[in-house]
């Protein structure tokens, strides 16, 4: 593990298509797409997507470390990624996330915006299919891993859909929401299934739950203080973005927001790691120390809960100051 294989790319179209598709199931996509929906489309849509994404990903990550099904053998498979190779294979969390995000977006928007349902269904299917196929192309999963991940995600969507409105209402109005949003994910992270060797699944799960927790606290806080929402007229599905004013506002919101989110992530990483390093007496660059439970969980959780809170509270405040609401 950790040794890159040599390979020759014979079809650059498939290579770049599936490398790009694989990135749609990783942090770079989550940290851009989900905030974009919050800033430019609809608060209720983004809330539902983030909650579904957090639940689906937690179940998927835990399932991997309970089932302990190995990834495809190499050789004969050529693996184009190395970071996730230390994880188990079943189910594919890329497939789970792609299915959950694409179809929850479809379900959450189909009754609120005017666009052909067939078009939305095809878009969701193509998005999730590309991500699923990318896991086969990159050699990271078997067909069974991908099918299992997509099916588990679909079942969870069906089970959670009837409770969407109830969950959303409680998250916005319950006085216990901030406490539960922090305590429950932390308990889940600290009681994550133990493995015989280090795997990035616990850290990735903590990242996801931390971001969801921070965003949820932000949703609750915005609702309690009746923070003005973004105007719907700026971005309506079903109508082309043809005016330069709308395009400029959308892009400005996105780039200002992403700058703040990435800055928050960088600052919090440094601050939290420095504090934990001082507490547990290890240098910041000590990778083994950063993998310890007492370091990894608070480091990841505090950093990414700050990112979620920043995206839902600080960025909208900055947008308001800049006249982008």
Which residue numbers are catalytic? 94, 141
Task: Categorise residue 68: left if φ over 0, alpha if ψ from -120 to 50, beta otherwise.
Answer: left
Say how many C-beta atoms besides its own lie within 10 A of residue 322's C-beta.
Answer: 11
Give counts: helices (H), strands (E), the chain: 13, 0
Handedness of CA 290, 295, 190, 260 (dihedral sign): negative
Instruction: Return d(Cα 263, Cα 249) in angstroms, integer.
Output: 21
Instruction: Return d(Cα 96, Cα 89) in angstroms, integer.
Output: 12
Contact 116, 3 (CB under 8 A): no
Verify cis geometry, omega within 30 degrees of 0, for the bond prior to 43: no
Residues with Cβ within 8 Å of residue 55, at least 6 apart in sequence: 156, 160
Instruction: Return d(Cα 255, Cα 32) in angstroms, integer.
Output: 10
Residues with Cβ within 8 Å of residue 281, at least 6 apart in sequence: none
DSSP string, 176-241: THHHHHHHHHHHHHHTPPP-SS--THHHHHHHHHHHHHHHHHHHHHHHHTTPPPPPGGG--TTS--
CA distances from 69 to 58, 73, 305 (A): 17, 12, 31
Task: State the DSSP code for 163.
Answer: G
Contact 222, 284 (CB under 8 A): no
């Amino acid at each position: 593990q950790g040794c890159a294989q040599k390979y020759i790319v014979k079809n650059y179209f498939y290579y770049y298509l599936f490398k790009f598709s694989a990135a749609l199931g990783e942090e770079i996509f989550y940290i851009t797409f989900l905030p974009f929906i919050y800033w430019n489309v609809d608060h209720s849509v983004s809330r539902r997507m983030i909650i579904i994404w957090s639940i689906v990903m937690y179940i998927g990550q835990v399932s991997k470390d309970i089932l302990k099904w190995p990834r495809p053998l190499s050789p004969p498979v050529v693996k184009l990624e190395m970071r996730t190779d230390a994880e188990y294979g079943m189910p594919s969390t890329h497939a789970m996330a792609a299915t959950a995000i694409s179809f929850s977006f479809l379900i959450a928007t189909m009754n609120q915006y005017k666009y052909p349902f067939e078009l939305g269904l095809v878009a969701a299917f193509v998005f999730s299919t590309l991500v699923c196929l990318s896991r086969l192309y990159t050699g990271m999963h078997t067909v069974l891993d991908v099918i299992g991940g997509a099916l588990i995600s679909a079942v969870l969507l069906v089970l959670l859909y009837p409770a969407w409105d109830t969950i959303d209402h409680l998250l916005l109005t319950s006085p216990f929401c901030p406490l539960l949003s922090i305590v429950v994910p932390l308990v889940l992270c600290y009681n994550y299934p133990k493995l015989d060797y280090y795997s990035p699944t616990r850290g990735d799960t903590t990242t996801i739950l931390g971001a969801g927790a921070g965003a949820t606290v932000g949703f609750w806080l915005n609702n309690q203080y009746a923070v003005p929402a973004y105007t719907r007229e700026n971005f309506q599905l079903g109508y082309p973005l043809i005016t330069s004013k709308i395009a400029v506002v959308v892009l400005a919101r996105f780039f200002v927001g992403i700058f703040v989110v990435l800055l928050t992530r960088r600052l919090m990483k440094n601050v939290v790691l420095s504090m934990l390093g001082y507490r547990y007496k290890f240098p910041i660059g000590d990778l083994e120390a950063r993998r310890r439970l007492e370091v990894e969980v608070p480091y990841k959780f505090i950093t990414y809960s700050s990112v979620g809170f920043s995206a839902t509270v600080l960025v909208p405040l900055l947008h308001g100051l800049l006249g982008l609401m």
